[in-house]
Structure 1
Amino acid sequence: MLNRVILVGRLTRDPELRYTPSGVAVTRFSIAVNRNYTNQQGEREADFIDIVAWRGLAETCANYLRKGRLVGVDGRLQINVFENNEGRKIRHAEVVAENVQFLEPKNRNESSNDFGGGGFGGNNGYGSGSSYSRNPVDDPFADDGKPIDISDDDLPF
């Protein structure tokens, strides 16, 4: 069986960091994910999906993510069932993040070394999280607007 969800979207609100009574960090946020089609008015609709991250990944998300940031989330779908005050069963779907990728710089107008693309997660979301930054100059695939000169000898096929 397989339960895997991969999403790319923008945060609809700042993450909320909390700790369980035993001291485990948990962060909740939601992302808006555009649908591939437009409605009858020509507008693109979006789905708003709740995300939960645990431990080190939770702390990293709470520290670095803000409303409007573009992220990639890799995780699993979880359905929680509980009874409300009226005794009705309520089903709530959320994605338990195992990996979160920051897909753009903190501030698109900054010219810092934080080029985005920092990834956090691994170890099923229970690790301390790790990150990397890269300078656009170090990216061999960066588009500097100039034509690329490739000879037939450079191609592998």
Structure 2
Amino acid sequence: PQQAAPTTQRPDEIPWSRELCNSVRLIGTVGTDIELRQLPSGASVARGRIAVWKSATETTWVTLAFWDDLAVMASEHVKQGDRIFVSGRLVSDTVEEGPEKRQVYYKVVVQQFNFIESFQPVRLYSESSQDGWKAWRLCW
């Protein structure tokens, strides 16, 4: 069978980049203070979680891992309630939770973080296509 002609323009191509193969950038609110640990190898690792809002009612919690100097910096400066920008890469851990049962957990290994300046949320007015409802939503 013949495919119908596209109704939209094809997105532009970008050059291949190793940095883009696995890159994540998020802004969120820190859910707990960052916990720092020293491994037997001498490496420092810190963990925390941020809440990333899609809307006023939808939140995704993302686990963060910081390593070495960045781990120490995060543990000293990042506190619960801070709004931060993180960039890094997505990794997974598989945990055996019983016979023939595995659970996969995802986290972002942070390569850079910054604090977000204070701001007032912006109210956006939009008309929903579903049922003609008009609604306000907050843009964080």
- Give the TM-score of the pair, scaled to structure 2: 0.66
What residue identity is the alignment partner of 1:72? Answer: F
Alignment partners' CA distance in 1, 2:83 and 2:52: 10
For residue 32 of structure 1, what is the aligned residue in structure 2? 51
Alignment partners' CA distance in 1, 2:100 and 2:116: 42
Q: Does 1:14 align with 2:33?
A: yes
Judge conservation of contact 1:69–1:104 (CA < 8 Å) in 2: no
Cα deviation, 1:27-81, whole Å, max 9, x if unaligned, reads 000000000x4xxxxx421100000000000000000011000000000000111
Alignment partners' CA distance in 2, 1:74 and 1:96: 8
* Residue number among 90, 105, 108 corresponding to 1:92 in the alignment: 105
For residue 50 of structure 1, what is the aligned residue in structure 2? 63
Alignment partners' CA distance in 2, 1:90 and 1:101: 31
Alignment partners' CA distance in 1, 2:99 and 2:114: 39
Give the secondary-structure state (helix, strand or coil) at the position aligned to 1:44: coil
RMSD: 1.9
Q: Give the unaligned 5+ runs of structure 1.
A: 38-42, 106-157
What residue identity is the alignment partner of 1:61? Answer: A
For residue 5 of structure 1, what is the aligned residue in structure 2? 24
Cα deviation, 1:108-129, whole Å, max 9, x if unaligned, reads xxxxxxxxxxxxxxxxxxxxxx
What residue identity is the alignment partner of 2:83? Answer: L
The CA deviation at 1:87 is 4.8
Stretches (4+) displaced over 4 A: none
Give the secondary-structure state (helix, strand or coil) at the position aligned to 1:63: helix
Identical positions, percent: 30
Judge conservation of contact 1:10–1:33 (CA < 8 Å) in 2: yes
- Give the TM-score of the pair, scaled to structure 1: 0.59
Q: Give the unaligned 5+ runs of structure 2.
A: 1-17, 119-140
Alignment partners' CA distance in 2, 1:59 and 1:104: 22
Alignment partners' CA distance in 2, 1:48 and 1:62: 19
Higher strand share: 2
Count of aligned positions: 100
